[in-house]
Amino acid sequence: MALIPWNPFRDMDIMNRDFGSFFDLPNRLFGSSPRVDVYQTDKEVIVKAEIPGVSKEDLNLYVDENTVKLSGQTRKEDKYNDENVYRTERYYGSFSRTIPLPVEVKSEEAKAEYKDGILTITVPKMEPSKARGRRIDIQ
């Protein structure tokens, strides 16, 4: 009989396979939240959010100097009634997400495009300002 060393991470993989990831628990309990990519170029910050199946009329977008706030609603189709449903795994209802940005941006110049279920938000970076503090002489 061969001895197999105990590996706690192997046990976690089994639990994740059977019960889903622990980190996905809030999404499963409180609804879905869009998955996002946030990256920056020399001049702008780009946020891409996966929001398939939502019309742009059901999306709300707010951008300030430090964050992007995204909310909306996924609507259930009226094509079928509940007694004819075999399986339903998609989330229906409201969602929201606040995404912190890596640098300050010019929110008044933000642009957004929604295509093929991907919302792309492009915001120019704020120019680096001079130091806001001042040197204090010690008495």
Please compute Rg for the chain using Cα positions.
22
The answer to whether residue 54 sits within a structural domain is: yes
In degrees and rounded to multiples of 5, residue 15 shows phi and psi of -65, -40
- Domain of residue 98: give its range: 33-124
**CATH number assigned to the domain comprising residue 93:** 2.60.40.790
Residue 38 in any domain: the answer is yes
Question: Does the pLDDT value for residue 91 go beyond 50?
Answer: yes
123-132 per-position pLDDT tens digit: 999 887 654 5
| Residue 38 token pair | 């946030």
Q: Which range, of 43-47, 52-56, 93-97, 130-134, averages the lowest pLDDT?
A: 130-134
Of 111, 105, 110, nearest in space to 125 by CA: 105
Q: Is residue 139 part of a domain?
A: no
Say if 102 falls within a structural domain. Answer: yes
What is the count of structural domains for the chain? Answer: 1
**Contact by Cβ (8 Å): 128, 107:** no
The predicted-structure confidence for 9-41, as pLDDT tens digits, reads as follows 655 555 555 555 455 444 444 456 889 999 999
Would residue 137 count as lying in a domain?
no
pTM for this predicted structure: 0.67
